[in-house]
């Protein structure tokens, strides 16, 4: 009887040890509060086809100290608050603002030597990736700055998808501090202005290249203007409002959706295309978005309708 009791006791101990080990091997369930803390903000990630042109806010939060961040908004907006460490570089700072609107050369990207000096004064030497942002409610100034930097051979340039509002939505910090900039001696190794169209080129290409007017419907129809000498459009132009390239949340549309927008306007990847607006801002952004989805033969008419109208070229309403 004693022997039987010892066997029962040993069996009971063995079973207890097995259950004990099993219980120890299981991880305790996370508390709801802990799970909530670890959940990341719902910010859309960048699809593969856009990664050569865009980063998202979460990526920038993790990498801001490794890149040059450019705020392309007006100085008064920059002063109210910006991404910590961001440099304020507006499109005007990299453009010829000496002429008046309508005069030849107004608002056109600086030439190679002037561009080198200006970028060097901002401490840019091309060694770091560059991220540019704006407010999507603007005129596509970030795209215009990117277009100019790529003329300067800086291909390591991308835009912040959703701009500054998305940065704040992702929980990004806001700063009013202006960073100290150490000027550098920058030399452009691969200057490339093949993406720029001039007034003479547009005149020569009338009837052969497809001209894309990226201004508002009211400007296209000659009902309003942005300071141009006359109201109207370049003869034969196709209307494509640059705002049609954005989603409601301010991010740029998917590759598939962008292609659909361009195709709906009768634009094909093999077409020769020249975009324009008032002074190459909205059209610079649009040209880069077209290039991103495979439209390789697209140029931005930098002087745009301001110079076209100012030099008394033919127009229509």
206 found inside a domain: yes
Shared domain check, 214 and 154:
no
Range of the domain at 116: 48-169
Shared domain check, 236 and 157:
no
CB 288 within 8 A of CB 258: no
Q: Domain boundary at 169, 186, 215, which?
A: 169
30 found inside a domain: no
CA dihedral angle for residue 30, residue 33, residue 34, residue 40, rounded to 10 degrees: 120
Shared domain check, 267 and 155:
no
Residue 267 to residue 295: CA distance in whole angstroms: 9
The residues, any chain, with a CB within 8 Å of residue 286's CB and separated by 6 or more, are: 140, 143, 212, 214, 240, 242, 245, 275
Shared domain check, 213 and 153:
no
Using DSSP, state whether 16 is helix, strand or coil.
Answer: helix
Shared domain check, 305 and 219:
yes
104 found inside a domain: yes
CA dihedral angle for residue 43, residue 48, residue 51, residue 56, rounded to 10 degrees: 0
24 found inside a domain: no
Domain total in the chain: 2
Span 9-31, mean pLDDT?
40
Q: Is the pLDDT of residue 2 over 50?
A: no
Span 147-151, mean pLDDT?
98
84 found inside a domain: yes
Task: Return the pLDDT at 13.
Answer: 40
Residue 197 to residue 280: CA distance in whole angstroms: 10
Nearest to 131 by CA among 52, 198, 38, 197: 52
Span 68-96, mean pLDDT?
98
Q: Is the pLDDT of residue 14 over 90?
A: no
Q: Domain boundary at 120, 150, 169, which?
A: 169
Using DSSP, state whether 274 is helix, strand or coil.
Answer: strand
| Least confident interval from 2-16, 128-142, 275-289 | 2-16
Nearest to 47 by CA among 308, 252, 261, 271: 252
Shared domain check, 151 and 79:
yes
What tokens does 142 get? 């970030």
Residue 105's CATH number: 3.40.250.10
CA dihedral angle for residue 47, residue 51, residue 57, residue 60, rounded to 10 degrees: 150
pLDDT band per the 50, 70, 90 thresholds, residue 10: very low
Q: Is the pLDDT of residue 144 over 50?
A: yes
CB burial readout 154-178, b (16+ within 10 A) else e: beebbbbbbbbbbbeebebeeeeee
Shared domain check, 71 and 124:
yes
296 found inside a domain: yes
Shared domain check, 208 and 150:
no
11 found inside a domain: no
Average pLDDT over the chain reads 89
Shared domain check, 248 and 136:
no
Task: Return the pLDDT at 46.
Answer: 84
* Residues 276-313: tens digit of each pLDDT: 999 999 999 999 999 999 999 999 999 999 999 999 99
Shared domain check, 88 and 201:
no
Q: Is the pLDDT of residue 3 over 80?
A: no
Percent of the chain with pLDDT over 90: 85
Shared domain check, 266 and 223:
yes
pTM, rounded to two decimals:
0.85
DSSP 8-class letter at 250: S
Task: Return the pLDDT at 48.
Answer: 87
Shared domain check, 123 and 217:
no
13 found inside a domain: no
Nearest to 237 by CA among 305, 285, 303, 302: 305
* Residues 36-75: tens digit of each pLDDT: 444 433 334 789 899 999 999 999 999 999 999 999 999 9
């Amino acid at each position: 009887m004693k022997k039987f009791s010892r066997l029962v006791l040993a069996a009971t101990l063995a079973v207890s040890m097995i259950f004990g080990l099993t219980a120890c091997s299981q991880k305790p369930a996370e508390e709801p509060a802990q799970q909530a803390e670890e959940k990341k903000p719902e910010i859309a990630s960048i699809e593969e086809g856009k990664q050569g042109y865009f980063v998202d806010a979460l990526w920038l939060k993790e990498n801001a100290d490794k890149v040059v961040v450019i705020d392309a908004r007006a100085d008064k907006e920059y002063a109210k608050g910006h991404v910590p460490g961001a440099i304020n570089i507006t499109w005007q700072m990299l453009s010829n603002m000496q002429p008046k609107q309508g005069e030849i050369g107004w608002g056109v990207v600086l030439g190679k030597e002037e561009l080198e000096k200006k970028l060097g004064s901002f401490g840019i030497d091309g060694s770091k990736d560059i991220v540019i942002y704006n407010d999507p409610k603007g005129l596509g100034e970030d795209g215009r700055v990117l277009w100019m930097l790529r003329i300067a051979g800086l291909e390591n340039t991308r835009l912040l998808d959703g701009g500054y509002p998305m940065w704040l939505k992702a929980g990004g910090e806001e700063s009013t501090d202006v960073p100290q900039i150490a000027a550098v001696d920058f030399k452009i190794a691969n200057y490339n202005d093949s993406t720029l169209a001039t007034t003479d080129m547009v005149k020569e290409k009338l009837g052969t290249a497809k001209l894309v007017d990226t201004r508002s419907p009211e400007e296209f129809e000659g009902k309003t203007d942005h300071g141009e000498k006359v109201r109207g459009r370049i003869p034969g132009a196709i209307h494509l409002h640059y705002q049609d390239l954005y989603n409601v949340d301010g991010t740029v549309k998917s590759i598939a959706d962008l292609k659909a927008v361009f195709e709906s306007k009768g634009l094909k990847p093999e077409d020769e295309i020249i975009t324009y607006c008032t002074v190459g801002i909205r059209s610079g952004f649009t040209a880069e978005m077209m290039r991103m989805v495979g439209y390789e033969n697209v140029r931005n008419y930098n002087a745009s309708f301001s110079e076209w109208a100012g030099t008394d070229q033919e127009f229509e309403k």
